[in-house]
């Protein structure tokens, strides 16, 4: 287990994950550092990739313009229809699970309770081995959950340049963003940030598509841009929605600039070899945690949400 980790395996689906993946064999040698496991046990009703049964509410978000800020309203009905956390909505099993996940990440980012903050721990890369394993779903839910924190603001960066989906998922029109700032040193990434009506949440779009994503990321300007995003707002937690590690090379470069990686592992689908290969590509970051996604049951019978009077499915 990473020496900075505050996570301890405690049975339930963590044990199931250990049975599914030979973590010991995967991390022996120099391929990747030891990896602690975070197990959210998402309820069946909130499985990633489950298509909503009813049409999504239309996008058409209302945009408020000011001299320096673009603010968009996030359609709460659209969030609910896609099984996302709804800000200020009833406490649910999903929201409680992500509270547990974010608490470990925030502890590593800010320190406390005998743990030192990780270098650049406020920068979190959300990744997966292959496409369609739920990384964007988890990145958005993590951002929504963290935005409710009173002492932090969240910047969600769509860094999946080839197939950006954060804005379309949230019903926001695309625009210039991260890649535009990487490619043009006369503009600042800060100028492309979209403020939302969800308090504490802002979004940096992926921006224009190029054929040199990895080359731009590997340039010295990337570190400057990310440093500026942190320096401009020290309260920020920056969450990067990365391309899948085994599908596109930018993930391995982004890992060099963050303090934490949250690897999404799809239950019963992600193979041990794929996980091993993906983590070896992300070894530029020393602090990696796994999140088991699309889990269909909890051996402990745990159902968050009932305590607050809301039935958790």
Q: Find the farthest-apart pair of alpha carbons in the chain and give their distance in angstroms, rounded.
A: 56
**Across residues 10-34, what is the average pLDDT?**
41
**Across residues 274-283, what is the average pLDDT?**
96
**Across residues 285-303, what is the average pLDDT?**
76
**Across residues 154-173, what is the average pLDDT?**
96
Question: Which domains does the chain carry?
Answer: 12-47+62-308 (3.40.50.300)
**Relative orientation angle of helices 93-110 and 135-147, to the nearest 10 degrees:** 80
For the whole model, what pTM was predicted? Answer: 0.78
Tell me what pLDDT residue 56 has: 64
- pLDDT at residue 313 greater than cutoff 70: no
Tell me what pLDDT residue 40 has: 40
42-80 pLDDT per residue, tens:
433 333 333 344 566 655 444 444 434 678 999 999 999
Task: Tell me what the pLDDT averaged over the chain comes to.
Answer: 80
219-261 pLDDT per residue, tens:
999 999 999 999 989 999 999 999 999 999 999 999 999 999 9
Give the pair of three-digit tokens for residue 18. 């250990």
83-133 pLDDT per residue, tens:
999 998 999 989 999 999 999 999 999 998 788 999 999 999 999 999 999
- In contact, 75 and 67? CB cutoff 8 Å: no
E runs forming strands in the chain:
37-38, 63-65, 70-72, 123-128, 153-158, 194-196, 201-204, 236-241, 260-266, 288-293
34-45 pLDDT per residue, tens:
333 343 444 333
- State the pLDDT confidence band at 303, using cuts at 50, 70 and 90: low
- In contact, 232 and 94? CB cutoff 8 Å: no
């Amino acid at each position: 287990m990473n020496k900075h980790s505050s996570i301890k395996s405690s049975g339930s689906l963590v044990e199931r994950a250990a049975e599914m993946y030979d973590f010991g064999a995967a991390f022996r040698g120099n391929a990747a550092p030891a990896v602690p496991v975070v197990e959210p046990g998402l309820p069946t009703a909130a499985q990633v990739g489950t298509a909503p049964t009813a049409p999504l509410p239309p996008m058409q978000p209302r945009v408020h313009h000011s001299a320096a800020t673009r603010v968009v309203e996030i359609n709460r009905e659209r969030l609910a229809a896609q099984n996302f956390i709804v800000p200020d909505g009833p406490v649910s099993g999903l929201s409680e699970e992500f509270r547990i996940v974010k608490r470990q990440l925030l502890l590593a980012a800010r320190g406390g309770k005998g743990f030192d903050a990780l270098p650049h721990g406020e920068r979190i890369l959300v990744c997966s081995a292959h496409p369609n394993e739920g990384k964007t779903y988890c990145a958005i839910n993590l951002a929504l959950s963290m935005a409710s924190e009173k002492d932090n603001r969240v910047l969600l960066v769509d860094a999946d340049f080839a197939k950006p989906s954060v804005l379309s998922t949230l019903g926001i029109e695309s625009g210039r963003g991260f890649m535009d700032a990487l490619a043009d040193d006369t503009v600042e990434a800060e100028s492309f940030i979209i403020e939302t009506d969800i308090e504490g949440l802002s979004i940096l779009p992926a921006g224009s598509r190029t054929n040199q994503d990895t080359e731009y990321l590997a340039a010295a300007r990337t570190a400057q841009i990310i440093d500026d995003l942190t320096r401009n707002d020290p309260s920020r937690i920056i969450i990067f929605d990365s391309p899948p590690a085994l599908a596109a090379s930018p993930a391995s470069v982004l890992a060099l600039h963050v303090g934490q990686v949250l690897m999404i592992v799809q239950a019963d689908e992600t193979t041990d070899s794929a996980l091993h290969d993906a983590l070896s590509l992300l070894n530029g970051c020393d602090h990696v945690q796994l999140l088991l996604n699309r889990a269909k049951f909890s051996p402990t019978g745990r159902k968050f949400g009932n305590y607050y009077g809301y039935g958790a499915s």
